[in-house]
Amino acid sequence: MTRWPIPPSMQRALALAQEAARAGEVPIGAVVVKEGAIIGEGRNAPRGTHDPTAHAEIAAIRAAAVALGDERLTGCELFVTLEPCAMCAGAIVHARIARVTYAASDPKGGAVEHGARVFDHPQALHKPEVVSGLGEAESAELLRDFFRERR
């Protein structure tokens, strides 16, 4: 039996999450894709950089915006290994990202399908399409292993 292969964009986000874990950061990775090519990527790094805003999504969005020379990532997609928090969901709105695909849900800190539900209010001036569950098991395993080792 062959397991359905995870698309390359989410595979790269999962690899970035593993890189975060090796650096002692909570394993979350993200990439921004435009017309099939990765134009920005990032991994969780708040501890190492002393930057509370250094989430994977923020890093990927900032890198993509620099690459395009535009604060708006119109027509771009974001792939991330965990449901975005309120901060990252807000950044996704500001960047006008067309579609967000995340792997695992995050009932404790998520703000897409949980809590603040940032995309579901008129104050979100842009509402991306949202897809969840792609690479869910792989992402959840990385997070479980990370927190198990630290207990």
Known binding-site positions for Zn(2+): 55, 85, 88
Cα(102)–Cα(84) distance, rounded to whole angstroms?
Answer: 8
Cα(19)–Cα(30) distance, rounded to whole angstroms?
Answer: 12
Q: How far apart are CB 28 and a second copy at their closest, in Å?
A: 13
Which parts are annotated binding residues? 55, 85, 88
Q: Which residue has the tokens 């017309």?
A: 35
Q: Which is nearer to a second copy, 5 or 52 (CB)?
A: 52
Q: Does residue 123 touch a second copy according to CB under 8 A?
A: yes
57 is catalytic: yes
Q: Which is nearer to a second copy, 43 or 138 (CB)?
A: 43
Strands 29-34 and 37-43: antiparallel
> Is 19 strand, coil or helix?
helix
Look up residue 133 and give its two tokens. Answer: 């569950």
Q: Does residue 95 touch a second copy according to CB under 8 A?
A: yes
Look up residue 40 and give its two tokens. Answer: 């920005």
Note the residue count of the chain. 151
Q: Which is nearer to a second copy, 7 or 114 (CB)?
A: 114
Q: Does residue 150 touch a second copy according to CB under 8 A?
A: no
**For a second copy, which residue of 91, 134, 142, 143 counts as binding (CB under 8 A)?**
91
Q: Which is nearer to a second copy, 14 or 89 (CB)?
A: 89
Q: Are 79 and 138 in contact (CB under 8 A)?
A: no
Look up residue 11 and give its two tokens. Answer: 């595979």
Active-site annotation, residues = 57
Chain residues that interact with a second copy, rule: CB under 8 A: 46-47, 49-54, 58, 61-62, 65-66, 68-73, 85-91, 93-96, 107-111, 114-118, 121-125
